[in-house]
Amino acid sequence: MGVLFNKRESEPQVSLPIHMGIIMDGNGRWAKRKGLPRTFGHKSGAKNFRSIVKYCSQIGIKHLTVYAFSTENWTRPNEEVIALMNLFEQYLIEALSDFQNENIKVKFLGEMEKFSSKIQNLIKEVEKSSQNLTGMVLNIAMNYGGKREIVNAVKILAEKVIKNDIQVSEITESSFSDCLYTAGQPDVDLVIRTGGECRTSNFLIWQAAYAEYIFTDILWPDFKFKDLDNILTLYAKRKRRFGGV
């Protein structure tokens, strides 16, 4: 558990997860319900993302990982993918100043090579400009897949064995975790998925092995501070046994 938060003296204090993950789902359906193109949903979702991230930082979340774009999302209609890439580019430019002011350290999880050279350069610039910040760590999973992350970690360890840097008998859960994109960060305590779907969708498979999961029907653009507060209150009431009694 993390620190306690209460925004007003009259509100009860709630124990926070140290590392929280969010699967931000429902942008397209949100737009469809309003008779708008799916791209409008992604724009609204991106705006809400910035708002929720800042709120998480302000209430004391230490690590936040958000699922922005999966390895499977490339199969979406080309028009939608192009719109998402434009949104990413706009966000990265804004992040260079936005999260600096919020003292948020930004890291990107996934295979960045598939993005345009402009987006890759912006990613490197955002990470470099925020690397010495001391506030919340924001992990943005882009072109990310949990299975690929695990395979990549296996390859890293295999290379070390081939080079005689380590012995097979020396491979542990800890050394494996050190080869993941989230190396050096604690495992996930809580995963929230908006949009009504009840599946993990290849998100943080290793890191969330003992995470609490909370699924909500609220579509991501409609997910507000009060909704997060309610979920955090529910999370605090759960008894985490990690396989014990």
Q: Residue 223 in 3-state DSSP? A: coil
pLDDT given at position 10: 45
Count CA atoms closer than 13 A to 97's CA, side-chain side: 3
Banded pLDDT at 11 (limits 50, 70, 90): low
**Which domain does 141 fall in, by range?**
15-145+187-236
- Give the pLDDT mean for 90-101: 78
What's the pLDDT tens digit per position in 41-57? 999 999 999 999 999 99
Instruction: Kindly report, residue by residue over 119-171, the tens digit of the pLDDT.
Output: 999 999 999 999 999 999 999 999 999 999 999 999 999 999 999 999 999 99
Reported confidence tier of residue 100, pLDDT bands at 50, 70, 90: confident
Instruction: List all residues 6 or more positions away from 39 whose beta carbon is below 8 Å from its beta carbon.
Output: 31, 79, 80, 83
- Rounded percentage of the chain residues whose pLDDT exceeds 90: 77
- Terminal CA-CA length for the chain: 18
pLDDT in tens, 179-223: 999 999 999 999 999 999 999 999 999 999 999 999 999 999 999
Mean per-residue pLDDT of the chain = 91
Residue 172 lies in a domain: no
Residue 175 has pLDDT above 50, yes or no: yes
Specify if 176 maps to a domain: no
pLDDT of residue 97: 74
Indicate the range of 6-15, 88-97, 106-115, 164-173 predicted with least confidence: 6-15
In a domain, 151, yes or no: no
Does residue 44 lie in a domain region?
yes
Determine contact, residues 114/69, Cβ cutoff 8 Å. no
Q: Is the model more confident about 229 or about 90? A: 229
Residue 204 makes CB contacts below 8 A (sequence gap 6+) with 21, 65, 141, 146, 182, 188, 191, 211
In this prediction, residue 14 has a pLDDT band, given cuts at 50, 70 and 90, of: low
Domain assignment present for residue 154? The answer is no
What are the structure tokens assigned to 165, written together?
A: 């840097």
Residue 128: its pLDDT value, please? Answer: 94
Average confidence (pLDDT) over 23-30: 95
Residue 12 has pLDDT above 70, yes or no: no
Q: Name the domain count of the chain.
A: 1
Confidence of residue 9 (pLDDT cuts 50, 70, 90): very low
Predicted pLDDT at 94: 81
Residue 1 has pLDDT above 50, yes or no: no
Does some domain include residue 243? no
Cβ atoms of residues 36 and 80 within 8 Å: no
Instruction: For residue 110, give the 3-state DSSP assignment.
Output: coil
Q: What is the 3-state secondary structure (H, E, C) of 81-106?
A: HHHHHHHHHHHHHHHHHHHHHHCCEE
Is the residue at 47 inside a domain?
yes
Q: Give a yes or no: residue 173 inside a domain.
A: no
Cβ(156)–Cβ(171) below 8 Å: no
At 239 the pLDDT is: 83
Catalytic residues: 25, 73
Local confidence band at 98 (pLDDT 50, 70, 90 cut-offs): confident
CATH assignment at residue 229: 3.40.1180.10
